[in-house]
Structure 1
Amino acid sequence: MLISFNKKSLLTLYITIIRPYFVATQTLNMSGSVHADIYSVAYVTVPSIDVGKTIGHGLVKNKLAACVNIIPQVTSIYEWKNEINEDNEALLMIKTRTSQVDKLTEFVRSNHPYEVCEVISLPIKNGNPPYLKWIGETVPETDKKD
């Protein structure tokens, strides 16, 4: 049996069946860019590993972060109150939902010993899809207490 297709039929076939199939296949094989901007990594410097552990445990316990890595022995050089300072600190690398960064920042500010603490975040543009899925499953879109 021969099937005759005109240009309009081929275009319709492409738009409705073929293109969506290839887009879906490529999305599954990508390294997570489909999740761009849903998740973020936040950075916080702390004066010691113990302070970092306290803040990290609180963030994870309160579902504001899926994971907090503590990177020891960071040297920070900065200007504060018209003086150049150099301090040994630890760095927290925090994985979370972008929608929770404001609550995460408030938690850090409330539990951090510095007068002005660093909390900066960057969107995760790409990543391992199962890992990003885990962040999403661990950190809810909104706080359960709301």
Structure 2
Amino acid sequence: MILRLVHHTGILGSRAMSYIPGSLSVAMVTVPTEIVAKKIACDVVKKKLAACVNILPKISSIYEWEGEVKEDQELLLIIKTKTDAIDALTKFVKDNHPYQVCEVISLPIQNGNREYLDWVTTNVSTG
């Protein structure tokens, strides 16, 4: 009886979902400042383009730009989203990022904590 009540009230509702490998992705975006990081992170969550964004500070990026090797201190956004929302997420980041060419790359999520993956799925709108 308790199990039925718990299931009926939705407490076990996330277990009812079945995760499809690759239906979620992790996107990575580098940004120049904490202000830019927090603005993009908050905005993509508010717009339901992402369920969660982690901000990793103080990464060193070494790259070639306009024929010169550069090194910059940046922050890295790790964004959990639906794979079919990546195009909309990319457009939003490009429209709101200070770099001329900003990094937005993604990798599919094949497996993980089922409850977490279900939570991401329910907190992101389709792209």
TM-score (norm: length of structure 1)? 0.73
Matching of residues 1-146 of structure 1 within 5 Å? 34-142=19-127
Which one scores higher on RCO, CA 8 angstroms, separation ≥ 6?
2
Equivalent residue, structure 2, for 1:6:
none
**More strand as a share of residues:** 2
RMSD: 1.4
TM-score (norm: length of structure 2)? 0.84
Percent pairwise identity: 56
Any unmatched runs of 5+ in structure 2?
1-14
Displacement of 1:141: 2.4
Which structure has the bigger radius of gyration?
1
Asked if the contact 2:53–2:79 (Cα under 8 Å) also holds between the matched residues in 1, the reply is: yes
Q: Which runs of 4+ in 1 moved over 4 A?
A: none
Any unmatched runs of 5+ in structure 1?
1-27
State the alpha-carbon separation in 1 of the partners of residues 82 and 91 from structure 2.
15
Q: How many residues align?
A: 111
Asked if the contact 1:35–1:132 (Cα under 8 Å) also holds between the matched residues in 2, the reply is: no
